[in-house]
Amino acid sequence: MRRWVGAGVDVMSLRWGLLGCARICRRGLIPGIRASESGTLAALASRSGDQAKAWAAEFGIPKAYASYEELLADPEIDAVYIPLPNELHKPWSEKAADAGKHVLCEKPLALDADEARAMAEHCRSRGVLLMEAFMWRHQPRTHAVRKLVDDGAIGELRQVRATFSFPIDPGDWRLDPKRGGGPMWDVGCYGVNAARLFAKGEPTRVEAVGRLAPNGVDLTVAAVLQFPGDVLATVDCSFEQPFQCVYELVGSRGVLTVPDGFLPPVEGPGATLRTMAAPSDVAASDDRTESLTFPAVDQYAAMVDAFDRSVAAGALEAPAEDGVAQMRVLDAVLRGVKAR
């Protein structure tokens, strides 16, 4: 690990290790670390030594380990990314912290808020950082949209709407409730994350309904969150509906619609800003609509660089997510769903 100064910012150049060969590694973290300004992909581990070697050869990763323990024992690894199934987040985050590795953990951080709190305290006691991997928070589009809201582009924020859904294979492990399955933890968490980010706080009231599978796992969920200042959020998610991924910010004088809200295209992510031309009694046809475009940046690379800067600073860089408050809200949503 070495320190360098880039664009006037003190940055820690981290040597990364991946604990597992999950799809998100191929799709997100491997290209993201490669595209980052400060991270280096140094090692990969898999329970299958052959798979680890094959991936290392395919992606040019210097070291391949046949167990997670071997990677954590490597003194040349500074930080690890944990893409494992949800029930394995806590044990491997804590083992990584015991080995002195900083931890970027895939969402949801844990199986409940108690687990998340224990993980955060454990990492803090070992002097390492723990961050939940909400990559969308670090995309330049997110920063720009936040600034538009803060600058009053839509008036006073009244409501956040977020939808994320896709159909899932019936045999997918994400339909196993014992493993932290269900769309709320897998994709609904993004809508909750967006609501908390733009409302700048934690909900004071949570109401939720949903459709459950025979094994008790949620299949479709709709939630309403109420924040201080009477900002409302509606969040829905599903594993049994066509693909949707969008969020909207509704204000007293306009609406910001963000398509592909949490999975923006690297090239040319956009948004639409619609503002009222005059007081609300004017016809909607008089509203002004503006198409916005934002820098073409890999959001996984942006997340890696933000994490590296956080390590250099010794604290998470805003708007990073430590996951504990997030899990409290997810717990409240699922309690509401299962109580009905």
Locate 218 and state its tokens: 């949620």
Among 107, 147, 178, 200, the active-site one is 107
Nearest to 177 by CA among 208, 210, 135: 210
Q: What are the backbone dihedrals phi and psi of residue 25, each rounded to the nearest 5 degrees, phi first?
A: -65, -45
DSSP secondary structure letter of residue 138: G
Nearest to 294 by CA among 269, 266, 312: 269
Annotated catalytic, 90? no
Q: How many other C-beta atoms can be found within 10 angstroms of the C-beta atom of residue 150?
A: 11
Helix ranges (DSSP H) in the chain: 23-24, 30-35, 49-59, 68-72, 89-98, 113-125, 140-150, 183, 189-199, 299-313, 324-338
Nearest to 248 by CA among 158, 156, 119: 158
Spatial strand order in the sheet of 244-251: 205-212, 218-227, 231-238, 157-165, 244-251, 254-259, 270-275, 288-293
- Distance between CA 5 and CA 306 in Å, rounded? 14
Please, what's the b/e burial string for 203-236 (b: 16 or more CB within 10 A of its CB; e: otherwise)?
beebebebebeeeebbbbbbbbbebeeebbbbbb
What is the residue type of 243? F
Q: Which residues contact 47 (CB under 8 A, 6 or more apart)?
A: 66, 67, 68
**Residues involved in catalysis:** 107
